[in-house]
Structure 1
């Protein structure tokens, strides 16, 4: 018998509700996701023996490079693909119902930043705009449209136009959010530094091979000076997920209520490290209902007492991911 699809993901308000929903989603995906079911069988794990959150196995993110990770028989409405350098095998995320993604990023944005209609949203995402299948471009495009501000829009390499737009918005006192890929933000402030203290600058990570990698503190110091802001915001998301965590500064992230981060032992993926200790990042994304909600990433990080977390780098020999944060 097919397991029922949980429907209350976006109304989660406490830990008990999250744990109950996560176990329901696990049961659903263990039954309906062929790749995940095979993975569990390979680990000799009976899904019915999973009774608590820490029992749930996490699917290595690399499976998205060579397998169709889906928990539905419906044809995909969209296929998101990861970015990568030439010759790199990229991930594909088959989106059976894009409304789950829309609700996830719209509701998360409102939780962290309030009504999108109060902002002018500018997106400086050249590397993403120059290819098809970017989940980040899809999200930015939707937020731009939702903002309904006449000056909201995308920028490619027209930095002078962006500078003039920012000056105009500063003068008018318009709340403004600039979402940008890291190398493009650096390129912009090198030629067109601006003093706009009220501006929200959100970097999405990614040098795309255009510039040398740098530690987060160095990067954010350059961007803070270049934009005249006190802190740089960040987004932690990836092609294989349908939810994002946000940082309002200093590299400390928080998740929306339907998303959680866990840190696994780097030598024993089935074990967890204690709070404040560095481990491999596991992500529970309950919005990813039609794919797999339990993903073991190649990122390293640590979780703090209040469930905020920090990304500290990547495992050795793992691919450099386009939508991932910088080495810290």
Structure 2
């Protein structure tokens, strides 16, 4: 347990705190540099155009880091979730090691049911399966969440033999297509309503939803069949893996720049987001990789 916390948890907790502080100090730094308040909305998608540049507000946001993220640290939602999974994992792993294949299947069955809950709460009633104003822990609460993906990965790797390419493609393509079509139609339907709330807009691409789970499953089944033999490609993938968390940590600083570049290049609207994603990824990867190359000792704690 102690080794796990030191080796895994601290490697994400330290960069999480560091970058949360830097993101929250950024508005104040723009004020020190004499930049307009609108700079924040140019850099951070969710920041208001009249965002505060005061040091006191920055300190207030920093003090709240252990409890919540804000418009300057939106990507950190993932780190809060990941830290929770890391805290949970030693106990979860013990249970999984003792579980039989049948028990894993039963858990995954209940988890699969829980994936439909966001839609059930939205379209039928928020008070289902015991959920109420005084109780948020419904019947399937203990089977819900990202721990299902942990168990699904464990089950697929350890208990399901790899299929041949033909079978993998035949099964994965329709599974992915069903998930994608459901996501596309649902998102398009929701956003067609001009009064669509943020929760409604996000509903059809929630990570713990059946359509996203289907796409994830299909993608995993295909990826695990891939065998990389090129030494250059292996080294590149190893480097991306090492830099992965760092790329994620800094990308929110670069998103605005990436979009501005795509816009300046007159990229068609339907391609602008994918192109922006590629631009942001490349910039972040080059930067983080360079840091690891020239300062590996410090980069390990700065970027995870």
In the superposition, the TM-score normalised over structure 1's length comes to 0.27
Higher fraction of strand: 1
